[in-house]
Amino acid sequence: MSFKNLPLLGTAEIIGALNLSPKQTAAAANLAHRVTQSAWRRRPPHKSGQTYEEFAAAVSACAWLTMFEVGALLILGRHHDARILTEASRSVHQAAHTGRRR
């Protein structure tokens, strides 16, 4: 388990808000890294030269925090809240990319 790419202040706020135990915190961090590793394995051809560390460093702080919080919610059994957060994150991400293309 690594907190290397997780923004510490935001991670601490989520840990406190959800009252996570050390075991739950580690599991949520692991989930965020597994999601990022999965994205790295499926990265587009123009990013094929990136190592995992380079790819992970390029992931936004907001995305890391969202993945961590979704993982924490899942671990807590709050699947509905995790789904809502995931859907909201996708909507914001898509809207941001659509706005840049105009």
Domain boundaries, the chain: 8-101
Q: What is the DSSP string of 38-57?
A: HHHHT--GGGTT--HHHHHH
Question: What does the alpha-carbon distance between residue 25 and residue 3 come to, in Å, rounded to a whole number?
Answer: 10
**The pTM is what?**
0.87
Structure token pair of residue 57 = 């460093």
Question: What does the alpha-carbon distance between residue 69 and residue 92 come to, in Å, rounded to a whole number?
Answer: 16
Question: What does the alpha-carbon distance between residue 102 and residue 76 come to, in Å, rounded to a whole number?
Answer: 40
Q: What pLDDT tens digit does each residue of the chain (102 aa) get?
A: 567 889 999 999 999 999 999 999 999 999 999 999 999 999 888 878 889 999 999 999 999 999 999 999 999 999 999 999 999 998 987 877 776 554
SS3 37: helix
Structure token pair of residue 48 = 């094929």
